[in-house]
Amino acid sequence: MKNIKLSEKELINMIERIIKEEEDEFSIEPHVNKIPRERQLQNMFGKYDEQIPNDILRYMRKNPQLIMNRLAKIYGDNFLKYADNAYVNAKKFDDLGSL
């Protein structure tokens, strides 16, 4: 058996890393595959898409009105402007795809 010497700081860092890895893997339903809507929601987060837990995507899929209500509360008067712009942009994209 080989002896390994670690400083207290190295040991603390190693323990914190192991705990974080275990937390990242936690899921309420770990063996449930993503459905297409959940993949669409995941893509919404751009370069951070792989960092979004499946449980969050499932929650967003199951509670769209609640998500919209909370966004409206956060953005206040600007919410309708953002929503309208998003809808117009999505319709333009859809119309271009049908050409």
| pTM recorded for the entire structure | 0.62
For residue 87, CA distances in Å to 20, 40, 42, 83, 84 come to: 38, 16, 19, 6, 5
Q: For 23-77, what is each residue's pLDDT tens digit?
A: 555 666 767 788 999 999 999 999 999 889 889 999 999 999 999 999 999 999 9
